[in-house]
Structure 1
Amino acid sequence: MVLAGVAALLALLPIAGVPEFWITQLNYIGLFAIVALGLVLLTGVSGLTSFGQAAFVGLGAYTSAYLSTAHGVSPWLTILVALVITVAVALALASITLRMSGHYLPLATIAWGLSLYYTMSNMEFLGKYDGILGVPAMEFFGISLASGRSYFYLIWVVALLAAVAVIHLLDSRTGRAIRALKGGVTMAEAMGISTYSYKVLVFVLAAILACVSGWLFAHFQRTVNPSPFAISKGIEYLFMAVLGGVGNVWGAFVGAGLVKLLEDQLQVLLPKLFGGSGNYEIIVFGIVLVVVLKYAPQGLWPFVEKLAGRWLPAQRRVRDWADAAALEERSKPTPGELLLDVQAVRKQFGGLVAVNDVSFTIRAGEIIGLIGPNGAGKSTTFNLITGVLPLTAGNVTFRGEKVGGLASREIARRGMSRTFQHVKMLPEMTVLENVALGGYLRSHAGVVKAMLRLDRDEERRLFKEAERQLERIGMKDQMHELAGNLALGPARLMEIARALCTDPALLLLDEPAAGLRHKEKQALSTVLRQLKAEGLSILLVEHDMDFVMNLTDRITVMEFGTKLIEGTPEEVQASPAVRAAYLGTEH
Structure 2
Amino acid sequence: MRRALLVAVLILLFALPALPVPEFWITQLNYIGMFSLVALGLVLLTGIGGLTSFGQAAFVGIGAYATALLTTRYGLSPWLGLVVGLAVTVVVALVLALLTLRMSGHYLPLATICWALSLNFTMANMEFLGKYDGLLGVPALSIFGFSLREGRGIYLLIWAIAVLAALGVRNLLDSRPGRAIRALNGATTMAEAMGVSTFRYKVIIFVVAAMLACISGWLFAHVQRTVNPSPFGLKMGIEYLFMAVVGGVGTVGGAFVGAAVFKVIEDQLKELLPALLGGSGNYEIIVLGIVLVLIIKYAPKGLWPYVASRFPAAPRARSTAERLSAGAKPQPGELLLDVDKVRKEFGGLVAVNDVSFQIRAGEIVGLIGPNGAGKSTTFNLVSGVLSLTRGAVSFRGGRVSGLPSREIARRGMSRTFQHVKMIADMTVLENVTLGSYLRGSSGTARAMLRLDRAEELRLFAEAEVQLERIGMAAQMHELAGNLALGPQRLMEIARALCSDPALLLLDEPAAGLRLKEKQALAEVLRQLKREGMSILLVEHDMEFVMGLTDRIVVMEFGTKLIEGTPDEVQASPAVMAAYLGTEH
Mark yes or no: TM-score above 0.5: yes
Q: Whole-Å Cα distance in 2 between the matches of residues 571 and 24 of structure 1?
A: 81
Give matches, 1:319-468, under 5 Å.
Answer: 319=318, 321-322=319-320, 324-468=321-465
Could you tell me which amino acid in structure 2 is paired with residue 226 of structure 1? Answer: P
Name the counterpart of 2:267.
264
Name the counterpart of 2:126.
123
TM-aligned CA deviation for residue 7 of structure 1: 2.2
Q: Whole-Å Cα distance in 1 between the matches of residues 351 and 431 of structure 2?
A: 32
Q: Whole-Å Cα distance in 1 between the matches of residues 418 and 151 of structure 2?
A: 58
- Structure 1's consecutive aligned runs of 4 or more residues displaced over 4 angstroms after TM superposition are none
Name the counterpart of 1:274.
277
Give matches, 1:230-269, under 5 Å.
Answer: 230-269=233-272
Name the counterpart of 1:536.
533
TM-aligned CA deviation for residue 496 of structure 1: 0.2
TM-aligned CA deviation for residue 325 of structure 1: 2.9
Percent identity between matched residues is 74
Q: Say how many residue pairs are matched.
A: 581
Could you tell me which amino acid in structure 1 is paired with residue 167 of structure 2? Answer: V
Name the counterpart of 2:219.
216
Q: Whole-Å Cα distance in 2 between the matches of residues 565 and 393 of structure 1?
A: 21
Q: Which of 33, 36, 40 is the equivalent residue of 1:33? A: 36
Could you tell me which amino acid in structure 2 is paired with residue 376 of structure 1? Answer: A
Q: Which of 185, 194, 197 is the equivalent residue of 2:197? A: 194
Q: Which of 33, 46, 51 is the equivalent residue of 2:49? A: 46
Q: Deviations over 1:387-430 (max 9, x none)?
A: 11110000000000000000100000000000000000011111
Could you say what the CA RMSD is over the residues aligned between the two structures, in angstroms?
Answer: 1.1
Q: In structure 1, list runs of 5 or more residues that go unmatched.
A: none
DSSP-derived class of the 1:183 partner: coil
Name the counterpart of 1:318.
317
Aligned 8 A contact 1:384 1:391 in 2: yes
Aligned 8 A contact 1:328 1:442 in 2: no
Aligned 8 A contact 1:45 1:179 in 2: yes
TM-score by length of 2: 0.98
TM-aligned CA deviation for residue 348 of structure 1: 0.2
Could you tell me which amino acid in structure 2 is paired with residue 314 of structure 1? Answer: A
Structure 2 residue 472 is the aligned partner of structure 1 residue 469: no
Change in Cα spacing, 1:334 to 1:450, as seen in structure 2 (3 Å) is same
Name the counterpart of 2:98.
95
Q: In structure 2, list runs of 5 or more residues that go unmatched.
A: none
Q: Deviations over 1:123-159 (max 9, x none)?
A: 1111111111100000111100000001100000000
TM-aligned CA deviation for residue 586 of structure 1: 7.2
Q: Which of 128, 131, 143 is the equivalent residue of 1:140? A: 143
DSSP-derived class of the 2:227 partner: coil
Q: Which of 294, 298, 305 is the equivalent residue of 1:291? A: 294
Q: Whole-Å Cα distance in 2 between the matches of residues 228 and 59 of structure 1?
A: 12
Aligned 8 A contact 1:247 1:298 in 2: yes
Structure 2 residue 488 is the aligned partner of structure 1 residue 491: yes
Q: Whole-Å Cα distance in 2 between the matches of residues 376 and 90 of structure 1?
A: 46
Could you tell me which amino acid in structure 1 is paired with residue 289 of structure 2? Answer: G
Could you tell me which amino acid in structure 2 is paired with residue 449 of structure 1? Answer: R
Q: Which of 219, 226, 240 is the equivalent residue of 2:229? A: 226
TM-aligned CA deviation for residue 314 of structure 1: 3.5
TM-aligned CA deviation for residue 203 of structure 1: 0.3
Q: Whole-Å Cα distance in 2 between the matches of residues 2 and 504 of structure 1?
A: 44
Of 514-523 and 283-292, the range deviating more from structure 2: 283-292
Could you tell me which amino acid in structure 2 is paired with residue 12 of structure 1? Answer: A
Give matches, 1:101-120, under 5 Å.
Answer: 101-120=104-123
Could you tell me which amino acid in structure 2 is paired with residue 253 of structure 1? Answer: F
Q: Deviations over 1:320-373 (max 9, x none)?
A: x22x23313222100000000000000000100000000000000000000001
Aligned 8 A contact 1:359 1:563 in 2: yes
Q: Deviations over 1:22-66 (max 9, x none)?
A: 000000000000100000000001111000000000000000111
TM-aligned CA deviation for residue 554 of structure 1: 0.3
